[in-house]
């Protein structure tokens, strides 16, 4: 074992600032060298949005000490902005995960000890509610304690800024620098809850903010009349997958007129173990097993499911054969783009400078649909923070009118009341859209097939390769370096036309028409291969999990042909990686 890893482990054991429970946990792994290495080979990285990791003792774990240290760094950064920033304060939300409430309290007490006012929700809340609350309360910053759709052993700490979006790259770098200057736990300030509340440094929020948020969500409704028309017969099965969405999603669906919303009883209440699913992730088809069972029993028209912090939503639709089809995030996104633009155009409310925003690994189908309505489609890096930055930019300069933003990983936002993906508004719009097509004697799968016939058979896939631990991290770097230095000429039978390396910010044309172009996006560890015929494939290390992700997209004149092409492309890339 590396001597520095052992030294770090022993420093924790000998620290006077660690509690007995933490030390006992560390003593229990004294003979497990691999476990010690995994817990101490690095510090849990504060990335471009915050922390995320396995709960436990150690530098490479999320625990009250790493949370306190991150918060002290954030507090120092806020304090550097002056007394006004400290007085504006920070609002904190948390989800149903293990230790979420405890980490929230630790965070609030560190902020309070630094003289920074802190607002707390009385109970768990959805991530988009946090995004909304920041601007509603005019806070300088916001934090949500969540690990989104990760397994139950994970938790996280996500930081937002005054615009309601996750912190920008420059802010993240400044906060990381500030955190790095917190060299030991004794330099972290904290105080007792009683003192913090007596001094007005910690304030609990009431229902006013909840009502304001729901009202903003309902303003995004486009065809409430259609919902009322079919409300008696249209049935929706909803699962919050044990998370925070149960109350806000059910409330907004009820208030727009849906009468038959059936909640999966086994998954209705918060559960930190997510005991009915392997993963609490609507991207995982298995997460819908109980919902599909209930839908079949009740003959429901639509199923929706949200992740634990309610920023992602998946949809399952019944086709004409009575089968329930799980839509991908790209398919749902394309349907929503078409639904929103079509409704606005019918009402003569579609602005001339309309824009939809998606990410570089999201299907081109939505962009194609947007352009057919005269709207512009823009790409950002993966991560909704980049979409949030664009919303702010357009709101300030008035150049474009933002209508809708989305990413393939089931994140959607309509409107500008929030600056992060919102499964509450997306759930409302998906249900309203399905009700609209139901009134036309169609289902969402019929609508999707119509879009395919009009725009082409776009199909996308994602393959995540788990490479855990120190060795896994090194392997991911090795694979990414290989594809940067070994130029592919084709993938399967598709000729490579363009190589986009977002780390070097270079777009390289292989057809000889141009040598290179600068990519006008921030640096990111992503490589994208654009192939002939509208196909593409991209490689990206996950920012939150020990995974290397392979994204791929194809376009052809039939669904079957697209399936075959997609499968072949992903298989090719997997085989190539095994050779490295």
Cα–Cα distance between 133 and 268 in angstroms, integer? 25
Residue (of 289, 237, 288) closest to 258 by Cα position: 237
**Rounded to two decimals, what is the model's pTM?**
0.94
Residue of 324, 498, 311 whose CA lies nearest to 406: 311
- 237 and 298 Cβ atoms separated by less than 8 Å: yes
Encoded tokens for 140:
């300088």
SS3 509: strand
Q: Are residues 140 and 87 in contact, defined by beta-carbon separation less than 8 angstroms?
A: no
The rounded distance, in Å, linking the Cα atoms of 189 and 177 is: 18
For residue 498, give the nearest of 534, 523, 524, 525 by alpha carbon: 534
Which of 420, 143, 435, 432 lies closest to 307 in space, CA to CA? 420
User: Which residues of the chain carry a pLDDT beneath 70?
Assistant: 1, 512-514
CATH number assigned to the domain covering 213-455? 3.40.120.10
Question: CA dist 194 to 50, 89, 112, 207, Å?
Answer: 28, 18, 11, 23
Distance in angstroms (rounded) separating the CA atoms of residues 68 and 167: 19
Q: Distance (Å, rounded) from C-alpha 133 to C-alpha 313?
A: 21
- Architecture of the 457-578 domain: 2-Layer Sandwich (3.30)
Order of strands across the sheet that contains 401-407:
376-380, 354-359, 401-407, 411-414
Report yes or no: 362 and 406 within 8 Å, Cβ to Cβ: yes
* Gyration radius of the chain over CA positions: 24
Cβ count near 421 (within 10 Å): 25
Residue 335's Cα: distance from chain center in Å?
20
In 3D, which of 66, 159, 75 has the Cα closest to residue 111? Answer: 75
In the structure encoding, which two tokens stand for residue 506, read together?
């270079």
d(CA 28, CA 106) in angstroms, rounded, equals 25
What does each C-alpha distance from 217 to 80, 94, 202, 256, 423 come to in angstroms?
35, 20, 28, 10, 10
Which pLDDT belongs to residue 329?
Answer: 97
Residue pair 280/263 in contact (Cβ under 8 Å)? The answer is: no
| pLDDT (0 to 100) of residue 46 | 87
Q: What is the pLDDT of residue 1?
A: 60
Indicate the CATH number for domain 42-206.
Answer: 3.40.120.10
CA dist 222 to 38, 73, 159, 421, Å?
Answer: 50, 43, 32, 19
213-455 matches 42-206 in CATH topology: yes
- The H or E element containing residue 263 is strand 260-263
Asked if 50 contacts 156 with a C-beta cutoff of 8 angstroms, the reply is yes
Q: What is the 3 state secondary structure string of 113-163?
A: HCCCCEEECCCCCCHHHHHHHHHHCCCCEEEEECCCCCCCCEEEEEEEECC
Residue 2's pLDDT is 79
**Rounded Cα–Cα distance for residues 167 and 48 (Å):** 7
Helix, strand, coil share of the chain (percent; to 5)? 45, 20, 35
Q: Which residues lie across from 123 on neighbouring strands?
A: none
* Domain residue ranges in the chain: 42-206, 213-455, 457-578
Among the listed residues 139, 71, 146, 138, the one whose alpha carbon sits nearest the alpha carbon of residue 109: 71
Q: What is the pLDDT of residue 320?
A: 84
Residue 4 neighbours by CB distance under 10 Å: 10
Q: Are strands 141-145 and 154-161 parallel, antiparallel or unpaired?
A: antiparallel
State how far the Cα of 556 lies from the Cα of 459, in Å rounded to an integer.
9
Q: Is the dihedral of CA 204, 207, 212, 213 positive or negative?
A: positive
Annotated active-site positions, please?
A: 148
What is the distance between the alpha carbons of residues 305 and 431, in angstroms, rounded to a whole number?
Answer: 12
d(CA 113, CA 109): 6
């Amino acid at each position: 074992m590396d001597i520095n890893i052992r030294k770090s482990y022993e420093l924790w054991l000998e620290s006077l600032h660690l509690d007995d429970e933490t030390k006992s946990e560390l003593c229990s792994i004294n003979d497990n060298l691999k476990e010690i290495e995994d817990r101490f080979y690095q510090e849990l990285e504060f990335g471009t949005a915050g922390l995320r990791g396995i709960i436990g003792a150690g530098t490479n774990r999320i625990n009250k000490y790493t949370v306190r240290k991150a918060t002290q760094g954030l507090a120092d950064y806020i304090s550097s902005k002056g007394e006004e920033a400290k007085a504006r304060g920070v609002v904190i939300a948390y989800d149903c995960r293990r230790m979420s409430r405890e980490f929230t309290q630790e965070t609030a007490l560190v902020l309070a000890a630094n003289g920074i006012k802190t607002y707390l929700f009385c109970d768990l809340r959805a991530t988009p509610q946090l995004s909304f609350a920041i601007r509603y309360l005019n806070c300088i910053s916001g934090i949500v304690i969540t690990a989104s759709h990760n397994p139950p052993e994970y938790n996280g700490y996500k930081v937002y800024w005054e615009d309601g979006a996750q912190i920008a790259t420059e802010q993240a770098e400044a906060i990381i620098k500030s955190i790095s200057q917190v060299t030991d736990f004794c330099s972290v300030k904290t105080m007792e809850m009683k003192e913090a509340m007596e001094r007005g440094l910690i304030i609990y929020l009431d229902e006013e903010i909840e009502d304001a948020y729901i009202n903003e969500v309902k303003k995004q409704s486009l065809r409430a009349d259609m919902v009322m028309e079919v409300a008696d017969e249209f049935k929706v099965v909803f699962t919050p997958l044990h998370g925070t969405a149960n109350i806000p999603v059910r409330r907004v669906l009820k208030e727009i007129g849906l009468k038959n919303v059936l909640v999966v009883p086994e998954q209705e209440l918060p559960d930190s173990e997510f005991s009915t699913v392997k993963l609490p992730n609507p991207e995982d088809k298995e997460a819908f097993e109980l919902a599909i069972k209930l839908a079949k029993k009740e003959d429901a028209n639509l199923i929706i499911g949200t992740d634990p912090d309610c920023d992602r939503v998946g949809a399952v639709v019944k086709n004409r054969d009575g089968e329930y089809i799980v839509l991908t995030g790209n398919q749902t996104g394309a349907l929503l783009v078409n639904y929103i633009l079509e409704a606005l155009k019918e009402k003569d409310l579609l602005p001339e400078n309309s824009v939809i925003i998606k990410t570089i690994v999201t299907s081109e189908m939505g962009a194609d649909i947007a352009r057919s309505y005269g709207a512009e489609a823009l790409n950002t890096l993966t991560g909704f923070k980049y979409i949030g930055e664009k919303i702010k930019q357009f709101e300030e300069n008035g150049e474009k009118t933002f209508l809708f933003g989305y990413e393939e990983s089931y994140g959607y936002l309509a409107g500008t009341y929030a600056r992060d993906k919102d499964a509450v508004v997306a759930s409302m719009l998906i249900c309203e859209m399905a009700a609209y097509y139901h009134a036309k004697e169609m289902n969402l799968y019929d609508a999707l097939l119509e879009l395919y016939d009009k725009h082409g058979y776009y199909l996308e896939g994602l393959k995540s390769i788990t490479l855990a631990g120190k060795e896994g991290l090194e392997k991911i770097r090795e694979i990414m370096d290989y594809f940067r230095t070994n130029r592919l000429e084709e993938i399967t039978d598709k000729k490579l036309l363009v190589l986009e390396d977002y780390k070097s910010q270079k777009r390289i044309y292989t057809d000889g028409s141009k040598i290179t172009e600068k990519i006008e996006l921030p640096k990111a560890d992503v490589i994208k291969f654009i192939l002939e015929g509208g196909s593409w494939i991209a490689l990206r290390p996950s920012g939150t999990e020990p995974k290397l992700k392979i994204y791929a997209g194809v376009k052809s004149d039939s669904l079957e042909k697209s399936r075959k092409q997609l499968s072949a492309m992903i298989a090719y890339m997997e085989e190539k990686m095994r050779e490295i």
